[in-house]
Structure 1
């Protein structure tokens, strides 16, 4: 009994050390110019049995389970933050990159792997499939907070969020062809379209169900809404996977729907998901670092092969796939160059590399070690230079206006009221007007305005300016009317005529 308690206490202490180490590395990653993901991996390697020997971990099955769970949370958070009006124009090129682009990348890398790793063609194609996709976790982490132009950023995020099904399909299909020689290739291809279709349909349905449930349920605490939304993400994945569909695609689609629909406690849901996603990234990359044994990875035979394949992937395979997948889609050479360089590899290839190990595919350990080295190289070289490249190519947009402040709200519980946070756009109809002249709904009150990172106490004579962050307390019955007012454009005049007598009385009250 005592030994079990000690083991439990040691596990809790170790978990705390790992998470604290992961959080601290994010602080130093920007100063060192190294992506935080690489530092998370290094924390795992250092804690592993080949270096400090604190943790001995070689369970590929458990690592795969943790990795998939973490990817669900990361994709859900990424979808919540994806704006539909930015995403919609880039859907065709993103889908082309997520399908044809992955196929071309995998094919070119497969040819290189065949002769460099000296393995069979099926194993080489399997290797190409594993590293062929752009990793969502890496892209979301590197682009978060950066001011890359919206069109390019949206293309990368949409591609990375939707190309995992292709990579997973190719990996599983090749493993089946290797382990079951008489497998029917046409059935495998048909199953891919079924998986994609189910992912889109189930993701859309569950996204709508989630928004309806969040808005209609009147929970006692606002802290329950983020938990409820996250549970829906896990449910979406589980149901879709049970139906043999693409669970990761379904989660991303449902998150986009939730993120672009007015839902109760949206701010709390997004902030909770962001923190949870960071925690999952730390856990996933530390676990994947623990799974690697440096004595097997950092040897000359693996290193030179990994470097050569990485260079072929970065300088030949990815650019060829990008240029071929986006023909006549309106991208400039500079944008295509950036998209080529931004095909980051991350957790997904490492998680997929555990599939051959669990299936006991020949040369699976070699494939895993080289895949890990390719990912490490991609994160170090591409991840640390992507922002500077965007700047040199002139693809940096206006600085993001995320307010440097926080607004903590006490849970309103069953009070039938919400606090709306809204950033005013330049073409909004109410921009340039005084609050007293704006026809707000009856049960809506502007409580605070954040302008240039400073808090303003609004009065009737306060003029709304572009990039103002308005905090409006409104009844739920008036919420939709308020949203329509805030989103209305200048082409529709909405100035409210106020009698002189009432206007003077209102100005006197405000004073």
Structure 2
């Protein structure tokens, strides 16, 4: 009876946390506060120092949940990222993800040495923990914003690829602290192994996943998103087992999959978008449970946290951005914006659990201060990114997010799909009547969405810029159709 009551209580609490988390996203958009802040506050409120509903003090489990959630979030972010946009910012994004993290680590380390009163190695460890921007925070805050595509792509590519450097540096300095005679050559070689092999494995498994998804013929369309997600978990685990960067491999694999010709593309994208939101809710709530407000909200932590936040946001990040993006085509306003948009989030908090598990002397202090720094970054920077971009004149064209949905029922073995296509000025069918368009065989326009209205297509219907077409096409004609739609 006790076990059954405990299970029911746990399930009820999980349901309430998910409901609160989903409603929180709606509330956060209205008040201009990033949802991750509210998720963390929900965790802190329901934890031991809050309402006492959940007692959670297990950094190892929190680390596991955090990494699992990051895999899902990075995978979804990579799927949604267009290679055509990322390709142009590969060089600055990689520079920020490597040189930028190192510069940030060094500058914050100097401040941590003075402010926290720790040793030099511990100062560098703290700098490494907060050295990288956070993919979960960046993807969540930039979603739906009209920031220039190049800037958004730079931030997303940087946050998706800088975790390996921060994780390497964190483990590197923990090893230096714990080991009397560390092998520097071995540790440096480990970094190049992690980055290089992570990149290669990501590309290979991304191509394998794309091939498998397109070739397998499943009885239900609902299985394709699960199949794709399984490859994300496989990519991380195999890469991590051989000592390379699993997070980098997942992001690269997602880029490959998302930019390939993919069957049941929309089903895969929609499923992973929802699952990524659930992962964010779970991860930030768990991290909120892990911190005890009575230890966090003290004068000592607040003063030290504020000083380190100011150093990170106003000194370390700008220096890292300006030096890492020299002669890469960014003007002064764009560099200022990139400096301000370097959000910290789940990754620093997850990395802060490493010293806790290693049993370092100042690990609890580090965790509390890192948590405070993340709160300040997400609250101050995250809530003002759109305002900052607008003031600097860096708002791009309005993104078209159609407020409609089309639920498809898979008919199993049928050799057909429905494609969603948004008409642009460069499209071959713009301003043409349907009857005058020479479509490939086995193609049928099912519906047209124009300025939030459903239009029934007829032969005399003229296709306009911004129209969203739902096209039924056989798999044999899919490639020919896509080529015809895009060419001018």
User: What is the TM-score of this pair, normalised by structure 1?
Assistant: 0.95
Q: Which residue of 1 aligns with 2:142?
A: 143
- Aligned positions of 1:125-274 closer than 5 A: 125-274=124-273
Distance 2:356 2:289 in 1: 16
Distance 2:148 2:171 in 1: 35
Q: Which residue of 1 aligns with 2:66?
A: 67
Contact 1:109 1:317 in 2 (8 A): yes
Deviation at 1:6, TM superposition (A): 1.3
Q: Which residue of 1 aligns with 2:339?
A: 340
Q: Which residue of 2 aligns with 1:108?
A: 107
Distance 1:486 1:311 in 2: 50
2:8 aligned with 1:6, yes or no? no
Deviation at 1:466, TM superposition (A): 1.5
Contact 2:426 2:486 in 1 (8 A): no
3-state DSSP class of the match of 1:384? coil
3-state DSSP class of the match of 2:382? helix
Distance 2:180 2:161 in 1: 30
3-state DSSP class of the match of 2:384? helix
Q: Which residue of 2 aligns with 1:91?
A: 90
Contact 1:98 1:160 in 2 (8 A): yes
Paired residues in the alignment total: 488
2:365 aligned with 1:371, yes or no? no
Deviation at 1:199, TM superposition (A): 0.8
Deviation at 1:166, TM superposition (A): 0.3
Distance 1:251 1:10 in 2: 35
3-state DSSP class of the match of 1:34? coil
Contact 1:412 1:418 in 2 (8 A): no
Q: Which residue of 2 aligns with 1:396?
A: 395
CA deviations over 1:371-423 (Å, ceiling 9, x no partner): 00000000110001011111111111111112111111111311110001111
Q: Which residue of 1 aligns with 2:120?
A: 121
Distance 1:335 1:453 in 2: 33
Distance 1:481 1:11 in 2: 52
Distance 1:12 1:119 in 2: 43
Q: What is the RMSD of the two structures over their aligned residues, measured on CA atoms?
A: 0.7
3-state DSSP class of the match of 2:272? helix
Contact 1:194 1:245 in 2 (8 A): yes
Distance 1:333 1:163 in 2: 23
Q: Which residue of 1 aligns with 2:25?
A: 26
2:322 aligned with 1:323, yes or no? yes
Contact 1:430 1:438 in 2 (8 A): yes
Distance 2:479 2:182 in 1: 54
3-state DSSP class of the match of 2:445? strand
Contact 1:50 1:293 in 2 (8 A): yes
Distance 2:46 2:352 in 1: 21
CA deviations over 1:203-243 (Å, ceiling 9, x no partner): 00111111111111110000000000001100000010011
> Structure 1 unaligned runs (5+)?
491-511
Distance 1:332 1:413 in 2: 52
3-state DSSP class of the match of 1:422? strand
3-state DSSP class of the match of 1:378? helix
3-state DSSP class of the match of 2:224? helix
Stretches (4+) displaced over 2 A: none
Contact 1:422 1:471 in 2 (8 A): yes
Distance 2:227 2:411 in 1: 17
> Structure 2 unaligned runs (5+)?
none
Distance 1:105 1:341 in 2: 14
Deviation at 1:3, TM superposition (A): 1.4
3-state DSSP class of the match of 2:383? helix
Distance 1:255 1:215 in 2: 15
- Aligned positions of 1:356-505 closer than 5 A: 356-488=355-487, 490=488
Deviation at 1:278, TM superposition (A): 0.3
Distance 1:430 1:240 in 2: 44
Deviation at 1:181, TM superposition (A): 2.1
3-state DSSP class of the match of 2:73? helix
Distance 2:72 2:320 in 1: 28
Distance 1:169 1:466 in 2: 48
